[in-house]
């Protein structure tokens, strides 16, 4: 990624609804150049899609938690099956597959503590592959929605080797 690609990504992260013409104007390039750059970023998988940023509180999901999950037996089939099942649960916002003491981390959002309790007891604890889970409540969340591309190691701006 060069500086122009990085600038395009930053602009789209701050407002994905900017038109191609407006992106080009802000970057000082031709609209055709801008369009080709955005298409190339999409082809390369840098831009994975566009979405609306929804406030969970505004849609009745005011209680959020992180649930650490351990599964057994620990093999590819069990991991893939649980990953698929968890990602289909309406309470689950994100599924992270981990290395270390826990196998998964689920980010869940529900209306209230009663719904969280029911989710844990009625949905998770009944799955045979789960051997343990722990829940951490989320009080506040800060999220960096504009990650910058990092310079390569050894470059003048990159971390020292």
Read off the pLDDT of residues 50-91 as tens digits, 9 standing for 90 and up. Answer: 988 889 999 999 999 999 999 999 999 999 999 999 999 999
Q: Using 50, 70 and 90 to split pLDDT, how confident is the model at 105?
A: very high
Q: Using 50, 70 and 90 to split pLDDT, how confident is the model at 148?
A: confident
Largest CA distance in the chain: 58
- Whether residue 160 has pLDDT greater than 60: no
Read off the pLDDT of residues 4-39 as tens digits, 9 standing for 90 and up. Answer: 999 999 999 889 999 999 999 999 999 999 999 999
User: What's the pLDDT score for residue 78?
Assistant: 97
Provide the 3-class DSSP secondary structure of residue 70.
strand
Cβ contact 116:110 at 8 Å: yes
User: What's the pLDDT score for residue 125?
Assistant: 94
Q: Using 50, 70 and 90 to split pLDDT, how confident is the model at 120?
A: very high
* Rounded distance between C-alpha atoms, residue 50 and residue 104, angstroms: 26
Of the options 3.60.110.10, 1.10.10.10, 3.30.1490.20, 3.20.190.10, the CATH number for the domain spanning 3-43:
1.10.10.10
Buried b (16+ CB within 10 A) or exposed e, 138-156: eeeeeeeeeeeeeeeeeee
Would you list the domain boundaries of the chain? 3-43, 56-138
Go through the chain and tell me how many residues it has: 161
Read off the pLDDT of residues 89-98 as tens digits, 9 standing for 90 and up. Answer: 999 999 999 9
CATH 3.30.70.920 fits domain 56-138: yes
């Amino acid at each position: 990624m060069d500086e122009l690609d990085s600038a395009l990504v930053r602009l789209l992260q701050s407002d994905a609804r900017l038109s191609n013409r407006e992106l080009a104007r802000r970057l000082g390039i031709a609209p055709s150049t801008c369009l080709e750059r955005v298409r190339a970023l999409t082809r390369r998988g840098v831009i994975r899609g566009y979405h609306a940023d929804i406030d969970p509180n505004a849609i009745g999901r005011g209680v959020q938690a992180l649930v650490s999950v351990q599964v057994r037996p620990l093999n590819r089939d069990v991991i893939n099956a649980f990953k698929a099942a968890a990602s289909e649960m309406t309470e689950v916002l994100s599924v992270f597959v981990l290395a270390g003491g826990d196998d998964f981390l689920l980010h869940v959002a529900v209306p209230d503590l009663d719904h969280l309790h029911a989710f844990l007891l009625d949905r998770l604890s009944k799955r045979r592959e789960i051997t343990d889970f722990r829940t951490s409540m989320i009080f506040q969340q800060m999220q960096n929605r504009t990650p910058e591309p990092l310079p390569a190691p050894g470059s003048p701006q990159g971390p020292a080797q």
